[in-house]
Chain A
Amino acid sequence: MIKVYALSTCPYCKRTKKFLDEHKIPYDCTDVDMLDDDEQDKVLEEIERISGKRAFPVVVIGPEVIVGHDEDRLRRALKL
């Protein structure tokens, strides 16, 4: 399952989610800003561990981690 970490208000995150929706790609999304404090800290640490920074959106497709809205990389990772 593709994992997306996003902020509920971030326009770039919305574009990434819209892109996946339009291509009917199922994914599990966590809006990190909507989590309670304890959960948020855990998820932020996880994001930093896998991407090396705290920037959004983060899309995890198997071993590939895509930071930022990047349709070209999404297409290649998803073989679209």
Chain B
Amino acid sequence: MNGIHDMGGMHGMGPVQVEKNEPVFHERWEARTYGLTRAIGAWRKWNIDTGRFGIEQIAPADYLRMSYYEKWFVRLVELLVKTGLVLRSEIETGKPDPGATKMKPPLTSDRVSAVALNRGIAPSFDPNIAPRFKTGQNVRAKNINPTGHTRLPRYVRGKVGRIHVDHGVYNFPDTNAQGLGEKRQHVYSVRFAAPELWGDQASPHDFVYLDMWDDA
């Protein structure tokens, strides 16, 4: 979707503000929101692409105003309700529905060290899926404007780049985010010269590399 999250190349956002000796979490609720999101992830009710799409669906004005973990919190609540893990009425009352049976969490503390760093991305080697493009080949990014999830930023659509490397096979986020299948296919690092993206005023010594799928 052409959302506010797709920020590459925008102007007016101001200077980068760096905090010295920044803590990992600024508030306890941020840490708990992070932990809750990861722990609920173990139910496998949604995948990484659904999660990203969840953040993108926050209204643009809210997206810009909210802090990072506020967005995580809003997404968590929406996905809990959407997947039926929690009822909207339970969110409102803060109490389990009287008819609900108590569940058993799939992620226990003894398993955290094993899963904490594993994003669960499947191996990318798959000789059964052929690549459509070859290293060194020039390619033009599709000019698409889907209302759903995509990882093809606006700033690169319709532009010509060169395949730098073939990374192997990955799920296709555009379908995977909406439960329409993993549609595994090759992902490539594609190099774009800055003048192709931004015009002649850009430095010919600048390049942007994006990871792109066979289908988008």
Binding between chains A and B: no
A residues with a Cβ closer than 8 A to B are none
